[in-house]
C-alpha cells in the first residue's frame, strides 16, 4: 500500500479530547475518526487491525469447534418481548418502528436469536453439544461513552453461544471457552486475568470477566497476591472480623450540628467511623424504597444490594423529598421510625454493638443503636465493598484494589432463554429437556484499544506482529538524488503484493522529508521499518529496524524480500 494514496492523515498535535494513550495514538496515527459520541469510523489502517484481532479470535473459536455464522442487527421487537428483556432493559436498548408501524429493536446481543434458531433446528440430543459464534455490530445506547474505543455505543463484538444437554455439558463448554479466551488474549499481547463477576442482565449462574489492569478501567478488581483470589469488586466478598463484644447500652440522643457526613460525625463525636452506622437511600426500578445500612467505615455495594433484595430495574439514589416522606432525614438518617421502606442491613452492623446512627431530625444523632433491638431489618446481607488492605476472604492475607478494563466475558446462562423460547431437545430418556446455554463475548474495538494501551511508547504505537496492520513500513529516502532508491523500494513493494501473511507492506512513497517519514513510521507502529536510501544502498542494501527494540541492521535486498514473504 502506497502511503501517498492511503486514506488517512496523521496529526502533529494531540487531539484535545483524547485522554487515554490508545485514544490519542489511534486518532493521531489515522486509525480511527469519531463521528459522534461513542460512534467511530475505522479508517483503512484501523480496519485492518480490527480484522487481525478478529482473525485471532476466530482461530481460537474454531479451535474449540465453535461454528462461525451471522445473525441480524435489526430484530422484530416480538423476539425481545418473548424473552421479557424488552421490558426489563432500559433505554440502552434502541427501539424504533418500521414503515409498517411494527416495533423493532437494534440488537445489543443475540441470546434470543440463538434460542429461536435452536427451537427450529435442534430436535434430538444427538445434535448436542454445539457452539456457534459471530462477529456482529451491537448498538447499546450507553448513558455515557468514554475513552475513545474503550466504551462506545456501536461496536463489533464476537459473541459465542454454547448449547448443551445438561449442566455438566455447560461446564465443559465453559471451560473450553475459558481456555480459548486465555489463548486469545495471550496472542493479542494482553495480560488478561479472569475474575469472578456479577451476571447482570444476562441472568444465569456464573460469570467470569477477563480484565486487563489499567488506571482508566471502569471496574474495580479485588486481587490477592497470596492465593490468587480475583473478583470484581461488585461481587467480591468482604471478610469482616468480629468487633469487640460489648453490652448493649441504652440509646441516647446527641446533638450533632452540621454532621451530615460520616467523617464530620466521627470528628465531631471523636469516635472512629467504625462506631457509626451509615444509611443510604435508594428507589428500585419498580418503585420500592430501600434503606441500606452499613457501618460507617464501609461503603454500600449496589450490586450486592440489588441481588440481596432482587430489585427489579436496578437502583437509583432517592431524593431528599422521598426520604423525608418515609419519616427519615438525609444526612441524619437511620431506619429508626422509617415507614414504607425495605430495610437492608449489612451483617457486620448486626454484629457491631452500640453504633451512632441518625436520629432522623436535622442536627441530631442517636448513640448506642443496636440491631435488632432498635429497629427491625427486612433483610440482613453482606452488602459492602471490599476495601484496599482488607483481609482476603479466601486465605486471610491482604487484598489490593486495581482498576481494570473488561476485554471479554463468559457467562453460564443456563436455561432461562431456552425455557422462554421452548428450545427443547428430546433426550435419550425420551423426555423433552431445555437446551443449556452459555454466552461468551469479546469486544473487538475495545481489544484494539487495549493492545495499544499495552504496546506503545513515547513515539507511537508498537504493534505486536499478531495484530499489526502491515508487517513492515518501507521508507524511501533521498529518491530525488538517487534513482536506485525508487527502483529498489518499488521492487520491494511489488514483492510484497499478495505475499506472506500480511499480503502487503506499507510503502511511504510520499515526497516528504526524512524526518516526517521516520516520525510517521514510528507513530504508525509497524513491527519492522525498512529504510531504503543512498546510504543504505551504499552499505549493502536495506536498513531494517525493529520498532519494538530499536535494533537496526543492514540486510541485503534478497534477505529483506524473504522477510516480506514471511519465509
Partner RNA sequence: CGGGGUGUGGCGUAGCUGGCUAACGCACGUGCUUUGGGAGCACGAGAUCGUCGGUUCGAAUCCGACCACCCCGACCA
| Binding residues for RNA (CB under 7 A) | 9-17, 19, 34, 36-38, 92, 140, 142-147, 151-153, 155, 157, 200-202, 209, 216, 218-219, 302-303, 306, 314-316, 406-409, 441-443, 445-446, 459, 477-478, 480-481, 513-516, 518-520, 522-523, 531, 533-536, 543, 552
472-501 as b/e: b if 16+ CB within 10 A? bbbbbbbbeebeebeebbbebbebbeebbe
Q: Smallest distance from the beta carbon of 372 to RNA, in angstroms? A: 28
- In the bound state with RNA, the residue whose beta carbon lies nearer, of 36 and 396, is 36
- In the bound state with RNA, the residue whose beta carbon lies nearer, of 73 and 395, is 73
Pairwise CA distance, residues 486 & 498, whole Å: 20
- In the bound state with RNA, the residue whose beta carbon lies nearer, of 316 and 400, is 316
Pairwise CA distance, residues 150 & 549, whole Å: 27
Q: Yes or no: say if 320 and 283 are a contact pair by the CB < 8 Å rule.
A: no
- In the bound state with RNA, the residue whose beta carbon lies nearer, of 159 and 329, is 159
Q: Smallest distance from the beta carbon of 49 to RNA, in angstroms? A: 15
Place of cell 518499488: 490
Pairwise CA distance, residues 38 & 17, whole Å: 13
Please say whether the dihedral angle defined by the alpha carbons of residues 242, 244, 247 and 248, taken in this order, is positive or negative. negative
Place of cell 447499546: 140
- In the bound state with RNA, the residue whose beta carbon lies nearer, of 212 and 355, is 212
Q: Smallest distance from the beta carbon of 374 to RNA, in angstroms? A: 29
Please say whether the dihedral angle defined by the alpha carbons of residues 332, 335, 341 and 344, taken in this order, is positive or negative. positive
Pairwise CA distance, residues 367 & 259, whole Å: 14
Q: Smallest distance from the beta carbon of 460 to RNA, in angstroms? A: 8
- In the bound state with RNA, the residue whose beta carbon lies nearer, of 33 and 433, is 33
- In the bound state with RNA, the residue whose beta carbon lies nearer, of 165 and 473, is 473
Cell digits for 122? 435442534
Q: Smallest distance from the beta carbon of 90 to RNA, in angstroms? A: 7
- In the bound state with RNA, the residue whose beta carbon lies nearer, of 370 and 385, is 385
Pairwise CA distance, residues 42 & 40, whole Å: 6
Cis peptide before 129 (omega within 30 of 0): yes
Q: Smallest distance from the beta carbon of 252 to RNA, in angstroms? A: 35
Q: In what order do the strands lie in the sheet with 252-255?
A: 252-255, 364-369, 355-361
Q: Smallest distance from the beta carbon of 411 to RNA, in angstroms? A: 7
Q: Smallest distance from the beta carbon of 42 to RNA, in angstroms? A: 13
Cell digits for 375? 429497629
Q: Smallest distance from the beta carbon of 481 to RNA, in angstroms? A: 6
Q: Yes or no: say if 46 and 23 are a contact pair by the CB < 8 Å rule.
A: no
From the CB of residue 325, how many other CB atoms can be counted at a distance below 10 Å?
A: 13
- In the bound state with RNA, the residue whose beta carbon lies nearer, of 58 and 433, is 58
Q: Which of 153, 162, 6 is nearest to 92 (CA)?
A: 153
Pairwise CA distance, residues 70 & 134, whole Å: 5
Pairwise CA distance, residues 152 & 141, whole Å: 9
Pairwise CA distance, residues 520 & 412, whole Å: 46
Q: Smallest distance from the beta carbon of 563 to RNA, in angstroms? A: 17
- In the bound state with RNA, the residue whose beta carbon lies nearer, of 128 and 410, is 410
Amino acid at each position: 500500500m502506497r502511503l501517498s494514496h492511503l486514506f488517512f492523515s496523521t496529526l502533529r498535535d494531540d487531539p484535545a479530547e483524547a485522554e487515554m494513550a490508545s485514544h490519542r495514538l489511534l486518532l493521531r496515527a489515522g486509525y480511527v475518526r469519531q463521528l459522534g459520541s461513542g460512534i467511530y469510523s475505522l479508517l483503512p489502517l484501523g480496519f485492518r487491525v480490527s480484522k487481525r484481532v478478529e482473525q485471532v479470535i476466530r482461530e481460537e473459536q474454531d479451535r474449540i469447534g465453535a461454528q462461525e455464522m451471522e445473525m441480524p442487527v435489526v430484530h422484530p421487537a416480538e423476539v425481545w418481548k418473548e424473552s421479557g428483556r424488552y421490558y426489563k432493559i432500559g433505554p440502552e436498548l434502541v427501539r424504533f418502528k418500521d414503515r409498517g408501524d411494527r416495533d423493532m429493536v437494534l440488537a445489543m446481543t443475540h441470546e434470543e436469536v440463538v434460542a429461536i434458531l435452536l427451537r427450529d433446528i435442534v430436535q434430538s440430543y444427538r445434535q448436542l453439544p454445539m457452539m456457534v459464534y459471530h462477529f456482529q455490530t451491537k448498538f447499546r445506547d450507553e448513558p455515557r461513552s468514554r475513552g475513545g474505543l474503550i466504551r462506545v455505543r456501536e461496536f463489533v463484538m464476537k459473541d459465542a453461544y454454547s448449547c448443551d444437554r445438561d449442566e455438566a455439558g455447560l461446564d465443559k463448554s465453559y471451560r473450553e471457552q475459558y481456555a480459548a479466551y486465555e489463548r486469545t488474549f495471550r496472542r493479542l499481547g494482553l495480560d488478561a486475568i479472569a475474575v469472578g463477576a456479577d451476571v447482570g442482565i444476562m441472568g444465569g449462574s456464573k460469570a467470569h470477566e477477563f480484565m486487563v489492569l489499567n488506571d482508566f478501567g471502569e471496574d474495580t478488581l479485588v486481587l490477592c497476591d497470596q492465593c490468587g483470589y480475583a473478583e470484581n469488586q461488585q461481587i467480591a466478598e468482604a471478610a469482616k472480623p468480629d468487633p469487640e463484644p460489648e453490652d448493649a447500652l441504652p440509646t441516647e440522643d446527641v446533638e450533632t450540628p452540621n454532621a451530615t457526613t460520616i467523617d464530620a460525625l466521627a470528628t465531631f463525636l471523636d469516635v472512629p467511623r467504625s462506631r457509626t452506622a451509615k444509611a443510604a437511600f435508594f428507589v428500585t426500578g419498580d418503585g420500592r424504597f430501600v434503606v441500606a445500612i452499613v457501618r460507617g467505615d464501609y461503603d454500600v455495594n449496589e450490586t450486592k444490594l440489588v441481588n440481596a433484595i432482587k430489585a427489579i430495574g436496578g437502583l437509583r439514589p432517592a431524593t431528599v423529598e422521598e426520604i423525608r416522606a418515609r419519616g427519615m432525614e438525609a444526612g441524619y438518617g437511620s431506619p429508626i421510625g422509617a415507614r414504607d421502606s425495605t430495610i437492608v442491613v449489612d451483617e457486620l452492623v448486626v454484629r457491631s454493638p452500640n453504633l451512632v446512627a441518625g436520629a432522623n431530625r436535622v442536627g441530631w444523632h442517636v448513640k448506642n443503636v443496636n440491631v435488632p433491638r432498635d429497629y427491625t431489618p427486612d433483610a440482613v446481607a453482606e452488602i459492602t465493598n471490599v476495601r484496599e488492605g482488607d483481609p482476603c476472604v479466601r486465605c486471610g492475607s491482604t487484598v489490593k484494589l486495581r482498576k481494570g478494563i473488561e476485554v471479554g466475558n463468559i457467562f453460564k446462562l443456563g436455561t432461562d432463554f431456552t425455557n422462554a423460547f421452548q428450545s427443547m431437545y428430546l433426550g435419550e430418556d425420551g423426555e423433552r429437556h431445555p437446551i443449556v446455554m452459555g454466552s461468551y463475548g469479546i469486544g473487538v474495538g475495545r481489544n484494539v484499544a487495549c493492545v495499544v494501551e499495552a504496546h506503545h511508547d513515547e513515539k507511537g504505537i508498537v504493534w505486536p506482529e499478531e495484530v499489526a496492520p502491515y508487517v513492515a513500513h518501507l521508507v524511501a529516502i533521498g529518491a530525488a538524488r538517487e534513482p536506485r532508491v525508487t527502483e529498489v523500494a518499488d521492487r520491494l513493494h511489488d514483492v510484497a503484493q499478495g505475499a506472506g501473511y500480511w499480503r502487503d507492506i506499507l510503502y511511504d512513497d510520499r515526497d516528504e522529508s526524512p524526518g516526517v517519514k521516520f516520525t510517521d513510521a514510528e507513530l504508525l507502529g509497524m513491527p519492522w521499518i525498512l529504510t531504503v536510501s543512498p546510504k543504505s544502498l551504499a552499505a549493502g542494501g536495506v536498513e531494517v529496524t525493529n520498532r519494538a527494540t530499536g535494533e537496526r541492521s543492514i540486510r541485503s535486498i534478497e534477505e529483506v524480500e524473504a522477510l516480506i514473504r514471511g519465509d
